[in-house]
Amino acid sequence: MEVSNSSKALRFITHQPFFSAVGSGDLDSLKQLLDKLSGDDPSDASTISDLMALQNEAGETALFLAAAKNLHEIFSYLLSFSDIQTLKIRSNSDMDAFHIAAKLGHLGIVKELLGIWPELCKSCDSSNTSPLYSAAVKDHLDVVNAILDADASLIKIVRKNGKTALHTAARYGLLQIVKALIDRDRGIVSIKDKKGQTALHMAVKGQCPLVVEEILQADCSILNERDKKGNTAVHMATRKGRSQNVSLLLTYTSVDVNAINNQHETAMDLADKLQYGESTLEIKESLTEAGAKYARHVGKVDEAMELKRTVSDIKHEVHSQFKEHEQTRRRVSGIAKELKKLHREAVQNTTNSVTVVAVLFASIAFLAIFNLPGQYFTDKSNAGKANIADSIAFRVFCLLNATSLFISLAVVVVQITLVAWDTRAQRQVVSVVNKLMWVACTCTCGAFLSIAFLVVGKPNSWMAITITIMGAPILVGDSCKHVLLCFSGNTLGFSAVTPKDASKGLVGASLSHGRTLQIYQILMTITLILRRSMLCRHQI
């Protein structure tokens, strides 16, 4: 830079107002300053370029300051006056404008620079720290992906200590960053730093088992890799007291649980040096179950260790059986509840059916006594007396009809007032009520047959006899059949019935009661029709 140009720049503007305008984000003031500078001598563009390269006390250029504060408009405006050499000027923190934008996660500025000068992503500081590394360790996933889209080979840049971005991201448990880096290049997981540590060694020091699992899924062959001190990942996880990571590593069958490091120590030896606590106990238990030994016992038969392993196996087996037993008990309990629900529904359906039938029987019996054939006496001494009241057939009819009426009414009262939550008690009540309904049905049929002899008269008594001969066997046979079925069901017992058969039986019982209800309704309808037709015939 020539002295004349520098003096000219200092004549029009000092760096303090310039940096103040950039730092405050005042774009209008910044434009006025630069317009004033360029307006004095439009042909001299070197003055503004020199101003872009000017650094403050911290060694920061205006572009660096705008990138650090994410002043995108200011940065874009200043970028139009700058070149790549200006962008590469480093501050006292040993970073340029692109590096600081990547480190702080300013995605817009990063993308704008990559679109103009993609080679900026390769610039590293004195420790060979790349912008990708700085963005990765700060968990700026979008910036990492943007840089890798520009140049995926940057993933293998290592710092002076030999660590890649994956090493540090794995150590801090940055799962999304680890996934993004591995997806770009799975070979990065096997890179070792100057201590001989892979990304797996770093990951097990952290507290995120998912990162450990992600690395092992990418390359399981590094499971038993050793660093320069002979430590494997199991050694590292044990020394740091990471019980979850130790348990995860031991799930892999290829793990060398008894590896001995340069200090002649196994993971079990390191576990003994840990401070007493819950995680220490978990680590020792996991190592014992995996067959870990002390270094002095490696290659020798340790009877105590074998006994502990046997006891541990037995304990796990018993625990497993206990869990299976508990699951079986829950399933059986669920089946029992379902059966109980089916029982309750079946009993309720039966109760409803019997109630309807009992009401029908009561209605028929009540109407029958007031709709007798032959009408009634009208004289004062015998007013209301039936003309057939002195006949034996009527007396039989009256007795049977009254029996049917009162039994039916009793059943109705019991059914509408009884509330039983015990299914077994409900079944007993239903059983008794069913037997009472058989009696009511028999009485109704007997009343019908007895009054039939009066209605048809002696000359046509053969009709009543024929009805009796046809109806009695049907009624008696059906009743006997149901009695035999009930006795056979009681003989088999409920305990001998499987849940599947029981459910089928309940459904069958419900259907059977439904069919019985239909038969009763048809029978009563026929009875009413016949009785009314006979009454009309007698009146005629």
Domain CATH code at residue 75 = 1.25.40.20
- What would the two tokens of residue 329 be? 């008990």
Three-state SS for 386? strand
What percentage of the chain exceeds 70 in pLDDT?
Answer: 73
Domain boundary among 157, 190, 211: 157
Name the residue with higher pLDDT: 520 or 301.
Answer: 301
> How many CA atoms lie less than 13 Å away from 495 in the CB half-sphere?
0
Reply yes or no on whether the pLDDT at 12 is more than 60: no
Looking at the domain assignment, is residue 214 inside a domain?
A: no
Task: Using CA atoms of 530, 533, 539, 540 in order, give the dihedral in degrees to the nearest 10.
Answer: -140
**Please, which contacts does 474-477 make with residues 24 or more away whose CB atoms are closer than 8 Å?**
475/441, 475/442, 475/445
Residue 224's contacts (CB-CB under 8 Å, 6 or more residues apart) are 232, 233, 254, 255, 256, 259
Structural domain count of the chain: 2
Q: What is the pLDDT of residue 247?
A: 94
- Specify if 369 maps to a domain: yes
Residue 55 resides in a domain: yes
Point out the domain boundary residue: 140, 157, 174: 157
Counting beta carbons within 10 angstroms of the beta carbon of residue 121, is it exposed (0 to 12), middle (13 to 18) or buried (19 or more)? buried
Residue 462 has pLDDT above 90, yes or no: no
Backbone angles phi, psi at 386, to 5 degrees: -70, 145
The model's confidence at residue 66, banded by pLDDT at 50, 70 and 90, is: very high
Last residue of one domain, picked from the residues 115, 141, 157? 157
Q: What are phi and psi of 472, to 5 degrees?
A: -60, -50
Comparing 251 with 412, which gets the higher pLDDT? Answer: 251
pTM passes above 0.75: no
Please check whether residue 182 lies inside any domain of the structure. Answer: no
Domain containing 85: what range? 1-157
The verdict on residue 69 lying in a domain is yes
pLDDT band at 4 (very low <50, low <70, confident <90, very high): very low
Sign of CA dihedral 473, 475, 478, 480: negative
pLDDT band at 346; cut points 50, 70, 90: confident
Q: Span 490-517, mean pLDDT?
A: 46
User: Is the pLDDT score of 304 beyond 80?
Assistant: no
Total residues belonging to the chain: 540
Least confident of 258-267, 296-305, 430-439: 296-305
Residue 133 lies in a domain: yes
Say whether pLDDT at 8 is over 60: no
**Residue 193 lies inside a defined structural domain of this protein:** no
Q: Are 509 and 482 in contact (CB under 8 A)?
A: no
The alpha helices in 386-498, defined as continuous H runs, are: 392-417, 423-456, 461-492
| Dihedral (CA of 24, 25, 29, 33) sign | positive
Confidence of residue 344 (pLDDT cuts 50, 70, 90): confident
Q: Which of 113-127, 301-315, 390-404 has the highest mean pLDDT?
A: 113-127
Dist CA 399 CA 531 (whole Å): 18
